[in-house]
Amino acid sequence: MMRSSRAPLGALTLPLCLLLSALSLPAHAGWFDWLFKDTYTETRCPIVLSHGLFGFDDIAGYNYWYRIPEELRRSGAKVYVTQVAAANSTEVRGEQLARQVEAILAATGADKVNLIGHSHGGPTVRYVASVYPDYVASATAVAGPHTGARMADVLLGLQEALPLTGNVIGNIVNAATGFLDLISGGGYDQDSLAALYSLSTPGSTEFNSHYPEGLPEDACGHAPEVADNGVRYYSWSGAKPLTNVLDISDAGIGLLALLYLGEKNDGLVSSCSSHLGLVIRDDYRMNHLDEVNQIAGLVSPFETNPTAVFRQHANRLKNRGL
């Protein structure tokens, strides 16, 4: 006689009741949260973001890292947005960042942080990683001008040829960056000429002689992911100055890109100059502002969104145990 393959109703009742009971538990139930928790960007060490030249943390609710911190946090990352001098030397900015890192370590109880710096923030996080390696699990540069930026070289040349004019312009820029610093709550002294030298080829060469960790040995080359100081180094950058017709900044960036005479660049930094440690990519369809999702997210619709690139990197750090 053929037996039915269906389980008796009574055998299904208990599991079904348990499932319904579980689904009816409050959302704050620990195991339920754990089961459905998004941990894609949940790194072991906090992520600390460091802005570039003329940068800030937040002005009237508008963040330099447009929507990036929120996108990292929604999947478990602890993210801290720092502020250093909008314009000053890499060493001065680095010491300012180091003090904030110390405060973050004290507040969180973490042993190290994952530093990510954009533009001049790239050399800035390198300084902290070199001088204070015990604080740093990884240092990532997004379009960092590690061997100098062409625009800085041009301006430095003008300043040396016309020192009086250069000093006047420097004072004007200091006043402008000082106001930017004031309204964003920074409270730092500004020195635009020191920043200019730090970002130039001779200034970068001098800096690199003191803090070489993570740099490739050859121009446009690659370096090991883990440097001799035990810190992991990463980098990425864009190579498309014009990306969105609605973005009013694209025109200016496109003009600045002409200084590179056809060399691959993002409008302000050449792809080769951006190389540090493990180079993730140096040819995203992004310009120098797109890399941090500016302005207001008006980036290329034909490329991975910058927020996704940051999320992918956070997941990379997580998978490295960082």
Place of tokens 């973001």: 49
Determine whether 51 is an active site residue.
Answer: no
Question: Which one is catalytic: 288, 290, 300, 313?
Answer: 288
Buried/exposed 81-93: b ≥16 CB within 10 Å, e otherwise: bbbbbbbbbbbbb
Instruction: State both tokens at 171.
Output: 């004072």
| Pick from 163, 191, 176, 166: nearest CA to 93 | 191
Distance (Å, whole) CA 211 – CA 272: 18
Q: Where would I find the beta strands (DSSP E) of 51-165?
A: 58-59, 62-63, 79-81, 113-118, 136-142
Place of tokens 């689904």: 23
Determine whether 228 is an active site residue.
Answer: no
Determine whether 119 is an active site residue.
Answer: yes
Per the CB < 8 A criterion, the answer to whether 246 and 184 are in contact is no
Question: Which one is catalytic: 89, 119, 198, 270?
Answer: 119
Place of tokens 């009086």: 164
Could you tell me whether strands 62-63 and 58-59 are parallel, antiparallel, or unpaired per DSSP bridges? antiparallel
Q: In what order do the strands lie in the sheet with 47-50?
A: 79-81, 47-50, 113-118, 136-142, 232-238, 278-284
Question: Which one is catalytic: 191, 266, 282, 290?
Answer: 266
**Active-site residue numbers?**
119, 266, 288
